[in-house]
Amino acid sequence: MVLVLGIIDIPSPGPGWAIVFVGLAILASEFAWARRVLRYARGKYDAWTRWLGRQSVAVRLVVLGLTGLVVLATLYLLGALYLVAGWLGLDGWTWLQSPLF
């Protein structure tokens, strides 16, 4: 269940990947397939962070910007932007309403 929640939480702001790794670690204590998946995932994560560390500041900023866009899109689709706009008295900003709800 922890793994499923982590996968669902990946695109949202918060510790989605951390939850995935914790869920895999829990499963890895019991199942060999989960140990293999966890080892593979850790390797890919480490390779990604090493690659990103070797890149220029411009590339890092592009990755940061794209990550921010994914987070904003997720918040928009989940209706969180419209909810916060309501808290701020911006109920008229209906363009922030999610098309899903």
Q: What is the pLDDT of residues 26-50, one digit of tens each?
A: 999 999 999 999 999 899 989 999 9
Q: Which two tokens stand for residue 70?
A: 């994914």
The pLDDT of residue 13:
64
Gyration radius from the chain CA atoms: 18
The pLDDT of residue 48:
94
DSSP string spanning 59-96? Answer: HHHHHHHHHHHHHHHHHHHTTHHHHHHHHTT-TT-GGG
d(Cα 18, Cα 7) in Å, to the nearest integer? Answer: 10
Determine what percent of the chain is predicted with pLDDT higher than 70: 96
The pLDDT of residue 71:
84
DSSP string spanning 2-31? Answer: HHHHHHHHTTSSS-HHHHHHHHHHHHHTT-
Higher pLDDT, 8 or 31: 31
Residue 4 pLDDT exceeds 80: no
Q: Which two tokens stand for residue 88?
A: 């701020």
Contact between residue 2 and residue 22 where contact means Cβ atoms under 8 Å apart: yes
